[in-house]
Chains A and B, each alone.
Chain A
Amino acid sequence: MYRILREALRLGKAGEKPPRTQRDPASASPSCFRHSLSIRHVDAGSCNGCELELHALGGPHYGLEQAGFRFTASPRHADVLTVSGPVARHMVAALHDCHNAMPEPRRIIAIGDCACSGGVFRGSYAVMDGIAETLPVDLQIPGCPPDPDALLQGLLRVSGDRAET
């Protein structure tokens, strides 16, 4: 126990502080999203690169929970659906099930080049070339994969905040 405490102290605060934010008056997001987003992530055929960055976002350097955001296991608890991958045809039914289980208000974020437009898998018989073909997308976060800072900025935008300048 002593050694665990010593290592925890040695690591200290690994992360940067989350950016100071204020309500974006132009945002159409519900005010109840501010500082409180529950996120359900669905991998719809990603190569796993975007998932690695989502994991990193939850790590000590980024302080996702300091911003009031958390990943949730059940879509019934989720405000935001994040989707990665070009949307493999085999995942469409499960993706719809997940989306239908979410309460209103809800938002959908496309994570990574594949979810935005199909990426390197665009044009394949087995994919939908992005989520927009199957569900209404509120925000696109491009990148291959998008880094945790880009993901956090996107989540802040959907929560109705903007970084203070």
Chain B
Amino acid sequence: MPNPSLRVLATFRHWGTALPVWSGRLRKEYWPLAAQNIRAQGGRLLALWGEDRRTTEAGYLVHAAFLSETGIVRTEMIVDPATAAYPSLAAIFPGALRMERALYDLLGIRATGVNDTRPWLRHAAWPADQFPLRTDFSGEGLDIAADRDYTFLPASSPDTHEIPVGPIHAGIIEPGHFRFQVLGEEILHLEERFGYTHKGVERLFQGLDVAAGGAHLAGRISGDSTVAYAWSYAQAVEQIISMQMPERAQWLRALCLERERLANHLGDLGAIGNDAGLAFALTQFQALKEDLLRENQHYFGHRYLMDRVLPGGVAFDLTAAAIAALQGGGQALKTAVGRLQEILAEHGGLRDRVVQLGVISPERAAHLGLMGVAGRASGQAWDLRVQFPHIPYDQLQVRMATATEGDVAARMAVRFLEISESLRLQEEILQKLPDGNIYHPLDLRDAAGEGVGWVEGWRGEIFFWLRMEQGNIRHCRPQDPSWTLWPALEEAVLRDIVADFPLINKSFNLSYSGHDL
């Protein structure tokens, strides 16, 4: 048990896996109490989801995963179908509110003790009295009507002006709706509305073959984080069948993950510069990113490394010549980024736009449980590669990038630091790459049980929970860090002006698809 003071969790058992996971079932009255204990210890909520277990356990099952200093605490609780209600955690972890609203939309069980019972992921695609994650979901009455009934927070004063933005935005970005209340130029309030890209991922996973269909879908939940999702999913599968991974494959996975981080950070730095009016940065960083993507295509077989990480290993290998070429590419990138970093740091026009803009203080970041790039830029020192390193990160001594200012400039600075650290890691991985197999065939006969995956993607932690039965997927739940980070954007823009919103939004660069599932 992680800490003796978490008494209600004392019966939890430690999974015998590479990841530190404690797991157990709670009675309903202990559900908020356990969460309070974890919060008091400085823990965070990772994910909250649910399952229809009426046929096997005579009820619905609500799951929650928390992060404590010593690892993941995974809890579950039976919910009686007669009441279909359970106590909310939103008063303890604010991020729980949207997850609980989404859980009602999908499974039809209600969190009690909160006033906000509006839908979250459901618009009008399926009837309000039907729930897609129930086993008896008929799939009838599906609709394509617009979502006209959603109630946004009413304007606080007749002097304020309301600006609706989206779901389709001006640029080439994902769909979502933002409702601003402004006084003159100043943003007084921002409310987000998502669910536009809801694709029914959780239900699609059900019954899929783990090795082919499941892995394929896992890599397409959020296309910019395909490696992190695929690796996290693979971890969950390999845990269930207690498989020992070939070491070379683990190192190659880490190489893919760091290259994914590089590509996205390069793209973001260019786009942030562009949103501040510095087109030079966009062109330069786009050129560097494109070179990296072309290397990916040439040496790994896919520009964004989709389907490179599979349960059981990886789908590619590197020759000595490829390793030498990648080392050369890394060196060149390091020099180029260094020059651009100096130019951006000295550019007065850019600094004017990004310093003290979109601030999330470390106190608010801790309250909201932030992690990933945005969390680290606000002093939240969480990086799985540092605190819970699995192979090969346990041999690489990753240096965490942090800042405390919590503004757009800090989020840029963290990205610059992480680019140079990822380049160092790439160099070290290429030097120390162990020999051996890259793939180990899976023995999935009668595979059954639960597994979790947990990988530090470029945006933040990608969490997977998987239940298998008879070699197939029974239920699978991915969790994107955007669930926790989107509410922070609502706070970050307050007191800034509308014209700065794109810049602040880009500095977070959160996922819609990974959130809407």
Contacts and interface: CB of A to CB of B under 8 A. Distances in A.
Whether A associates with B in a native complex is yes
A59 B168 contact: no
Nearest to A119: B220
A94 B168 contact: yes
A59 B172 contact: no
A61 B286 CA distance: 9
B200 A127 contact: yes
Interface of B: 123-126, 132, 137, 139, 142-147, 167-168, 170-175, 195-201, 203-204, 216-217, 220-224, 226, 267, 280, 283-284, 286-287, 289-290, 293, 297, 303-304, 306, 339-340, 342-343, 346, 511-513, 516
B199 A124 contact: yes
List 8 A-B pairs, minimum CB-CB distance, nearest first: A49-B223, A93-B146, A89-B125, A59-B286, A126-B200, A124-B200, A73-B170, A47-B223
Given A88-B198, A124-B203, A46 B513 contact: yes
Q: Which of A44, A47, A52, A123 has the most CB of B within 10 A?
A: A47
A59 B197 contact: no
A122 to B, nearest CB: 9
A45 interface: yes
Nearest to B137: A125
Interface string A17-60: 00000000000000000000000011111111111111110111
B343 A51 contact: no
Given A90-B197, A94-B167, A121-B204, 17 more contacts: A8-B283, A43-B175, A48-B512, A49-B224, A50-B223, A58-B286, A60-B290, A88-B196, A89-B123, A89-B142, A91-B196, A94-B146, A94-B175, A120-B217, A123-B204, A125-B200, A126-B198
A125 B512 CA distance: 19
A92 B144 contact: yes
Contact of A48 (B126, B142, B222, B286): B222
A121 B223 contact: no
Interface string A46-89: 11111111111011110000000001010000000000011011
Contacts of A44: 175
A127 B174 contact: no
Contacts of B303: 53, 147
Contact of B222 (A47, A88, A121, A126): A47
A116 to B, nearest CB: 15
Contacts of A52: 223-224, 267, 304
A125 B220 contact: no
A60 B200 contact: no
B132 A85 contact: no
B26 to A, nearest CB: 31
Q: Which of B123, B171, B175, B516 has the most CB of A within 10 A?
A: B175
A48 B199 contact: no
13 contacts: A43-B175, A45-B197, A45-B198, A48-B174, A48-B223, A52-B267, A58-B172, A85-B197, A88-B125, A91-B175, A93-B145, A94-B196, A126-B198
Contact of B143 (A42, A46, A85, A89): A89
A89 B147 CA distance: 11
Contacts of A60: 283, 286-287, 290
Contact of A61 (B199, B223, B290): B290
A89 B223 contact: no
Nearest to A49: B223
Given A42-B168, A124-B199, A125-B125, A47 B221 contact: yes
A42 B170 CA distance: 10
A54 B124 CA distance: 30
A47 B306 CA distance: 12
A98 interface: yes
A98 to B, nearest CB: 6
A125 B513 contact: no
A100 interface: no
B315 to A, nearest CB: 14
A120 B213 CA distance: 8
Given A7-B339, A45-B513, A125 B221 contact: no
A125 B287 contact: no
Contact of B304 (A49, A59, A126): A49
Q: Which of A54, A60, A90, A134 has the most CB of B within 10 A?
A: A90
Contacts of B346: 3
B144 A89 contact: yes
Contacts of A85: 197
Contact of B196 (A45, A71, A86): A45
A14 B203 CA distance: 44
A61 B288 CA distance: 10
Given A73-B171, A120-B220, A7 B343 contact: yes
A7 B346 CA distance: 14
Q: Which of B222, B226, B290 has the most CB of A within 10 A?
A: B290
Nearest to A118: B199
A90 B216 CA distance: 23
Contact of B199 (A11, A51, A86): A86
A109 interface: no
Contact of A45 (B139, B170, B199): B199
B197 A43 contact: yes
A89 B99 CA distance: 21
Given A120-B217, A124-B203, A3 B223 contact: no
Given A61-B287, A61-B290, A98 B142 contact: no
A46 B290 contact: no
B362 to A, nearest CB: 30
Contacts of A49: 220, 223-224, 226, 304, 306
Contact of B283 (A59, A119, A120): A59
B283 A71 contact: no
A128 B261 CA distance: 32
Contacts of B147: 90, 93
A45 B220 CA distance: 11
Contacts of B125: 88-90, 125-126
